[in-house]
Structure 1
Amino acid sequence: MSPDTTAYPPQNRKIGLLFVIVGAVLWGVGGTVSQKLMHHYGADPAWLVTIRLLVAGPLLLLLQFALKDRRQIFGVWKDRRIAPLLLIYGLAGMLAVQYTFIASISYGNAAVATLLQYLAPVVTLLYFLMKQRKAPTRLELTTAALALIGCFMLLTNGSLSSLSVPAPAVIWGLLSAVAAAFYTLAAVPLLRKYDSLVIVGWAMTVGGLALAAIRPPWNSPWPTLDATGYGYLAFVLVFGTTLAFWFYIESLRNLPPQETIVLGSLEPLAAVLTTVVWLHEPFGLWQWGGTVCIIAVVLLMSLRGRA
């Protein structure tokens, strides 16, 4: 069954389309700019993740304070059922997905890291199939096969003798997909009661504080940034994280979730294009084929959600 688009007025749909497209592109470009900060300016991955979380988290809470129900900001911590879940979500969800993603970029590149993270829907599918002890449907088998083929093409560029990206980048990227699946599933009970800006804002803040306690950013080597480097850092913090998330969430108010998921596929495409065109990373024909396969997985998963 297709989503009921009549529930979304045409003007609102235009706003929703603009928000999801801009948000997805900002997310994708943000990963590539993070790669520039690490590879060119020597930014430490843990330092970058800590700064990213401790800036974006409070900014999202400020958006909640200015635009929505400000009572939720501290009210969530008074909820004895939700507060422990929020702590777990901040550590095992937000911090895990952010660190594994940035680590994958640091060892490889933003294109491969983003595409590997986009295997999260397949991880989620496998989790539910095992939990429910169900046999996969034809569509689910097709999705899993496409994911495996896409991974093979992306990581080997058609050669059985070697990987086209370093093994640590692959390991961190696959861990990022697992973390992203947990991040998505663990958010469900939290978002039933509280606004997304509150949940993600606090999750980022909790994750950033935890990582800062383990790896204090003031003790990490500060990258040698020139004016351009600081511009890149500001882009990652404000546009590639804070605004990207906010725009994506706002799009859900004006578009059916299936359309948001499909248009969100612009994120890996933006990451691939900027990595290849701007950073001049080599990307072979087989890898482009793998990119198409992994994006097709996302599209098939959205079709599965319409059934």
Structure 2
Amino acid sequence: MQTITRSILQQKNSKHILMALLAAVLWGISGTVGQYLFQEKRVDVEWLISVRLLAAGGLLLVLSVAQGEQVLSIWKNKKDCILLLSFSVLGMVAVQYTYFAAIKYSNAATATVLQYIGPVLIVVYMAISKKRMPSVKEFVALILAMLGTFLLVTHGNPKELSLSPEAFLLGISSAIALAVYTLLPARLLVTHSPALVVGWGMLIGGIVFSPIRSPWDVSGIWDTNTYAALGYIILLGTLIPFYCYLKAVQMIGGEKASLLASAEPLSAMVIGVFWLQIVFTGLDYLGSLCIVSTIFILSYSSKS
């Protein structure tokens, strides 16, 4: 009986590890697509944030209703309401805006490496709050994740990150926002589905952010490619990965989920090869190996 139970748990953990990895891959592509919209199609970053949050949040709540979920149940508890509003603004809006704004002022690769200081902040916070040191496997995985990200975006030379003050500030803010986004909804995910938490978080975030740039205040060059890129960002770059990521957080914890999501730069590298025709060096492949090693270490740790 214990063997059967352990096997079921391992299968569930493997499923949610894959969900975290899927979110990372889709996010990595999304950052590159966002850079394409900003640089090639002159789409405004604030407009993109408003539209993607409102559209993805609304769609997710509609799907929740179609599946028979009580979408208003999350508003019955006062503490849940306060937490949801905090998550919407300090988590959802913050991580969306700071990341894409950092891309606007630099590029997708630079914004990604700065954002992935976030897992460091999470591990440190969890260690302090639980009054413990990270386990050996968590520590090794953390080092490999950060090293892999560093090698992928700098080629081992920190001087290649020539940033404007705006890009640096937004990048660091993005790392903090990622940590907050991962940790803040923990209580909500105990009693509510990730679909409800993410759906309401996006919809509220979009409503709050709309006065900054309204969805109907459209700018940029609009053609088939622009619409296709926007569709990707809303569906495959927002709705699906944010749901998968929070589901993984719910099942395997924020520390492991955030570390697994550090595969995002790897997906950015792959899309760069096929779309942007970027030539990668041995250090790029070494960085990829570090990230893949992190995935195996965390998977093994989760099964254990």
Normalising TM by the smaller chain, what interval? 0.7 to 0.9
Question: Deviations for 1:77-125, whole angstroms, at most 9, x for unmatched residues?
Answer: 2321210110001000111111122122223333443344344332111
Q: CA deviation at 1:290?
A: 3.9
State whether residues 122 and 147 of structure 1, in contact with CA within 8 Å, keep that contact through their aligned partners in structure 2.
no
State whether residues 14 and 299 of structure 2, in contact with CA within 8 Å, keep that contact through their aligned partners in structure 1.
no
Query: Which residue of 2 is the match for residue 231 of structure 1?
Result: 228
88, 96, 103: which is aligned to 2:101? 103
Amino acid at match of 1:127: Y
Query: Which residue of 2 is the match for residue 191 of structure 1?
Result: 189
CA distance in 2, matches of 1:305, 1:32: 31
Written as runs of structure 1 = structure 2, the 5 A alignment for 1:150-299 is 150=148, 152-159=150-157, 162-164=159-161, 166-167=163-164, 168-219=166-217, 222-246=219-243, 257=252, 261=257, 267-281=264-278, 284-294=281-291, 296-297=293-294
Query: Which residue of 1 is the match for residue 122 of structure 2?
Result: 124
Q: CA RMSD in A?
A: 3.8
Aligned length, in residue pairs: 298
Query: Which residue of 2 is the match for residue 43 of structure 1?
Result: 43
State whether residues 118 and 294 of structure 1, in contact with CA within 8 Å, keep that contact through their aligned partners in structure 2.
no
Distance 1:285 1:105, change over 3 A: farther
CA distance in 1, matches of 2:195, 2:147: 36
Further displaced range: 293-302 or 104-113: 293-302
Identity of aligned residues (%): 34
Amino acid at match of 1:200: V
Which SS does the other structure have where 1:224 is aligned?
A: coil
Query: Which residue of 2 is the match for residue 26 of structure 1?
Result: 26
CA distance in 2, matches of 1:169, 1:269: 21
CA distance in 1, matches of 2:216, 2:301: 47
State whether residues 96 and 176 of structure 1, in contact with CA within 8 Å, keep that contact through their aligned partners in structure 2.
yes
Unaligned 5+ segments in structure 2 are none
Distance 1:151 1:232, change over 3 A: closer
Q: CA deviation at 1:68?
A: 3.6
CA distance in 1, matches of 2:222, 2:203: 24
Instruction: Normalising by structure 2, report the TM-score.
Output: 0.79
Question: Deviations for 1:110-144, whole angstroms, at most 9, x for unmatched residues?
Answer: 34433443443321111123334544554455445
CA distance in 1, matches of 2:20, 2:145: 24
Distance 1:76 1:132, change over 3 A: closer
CA distance in 2, matches of 1:109, 1:146: 23
Further displaced range: 43-52 or 207-216: 207-216
Instruction: Normalising by structure 1, report the TM-score.
Output: 0.79
1:80 and 2:78 matched: yes
Which SS does the other structure have where 2:233 is aligned?
A: helix
Question: Deviations for 1:261-286, whole angstroms, at most 9, x for unmatched residues?
Answer: 58756543222211343124565543
Unaligned 5+ segments in structure 1 are none
Query: Which residue of 2 is the match for residue 6 of structure 1?
Result: 7
CA distance in 2, matches of 1:19, 1:304: 17
State whether residues 265 and 298 of structure 1, in contact with CA within 8 Å, keep that contact through their aligned partners in structure 2.
no
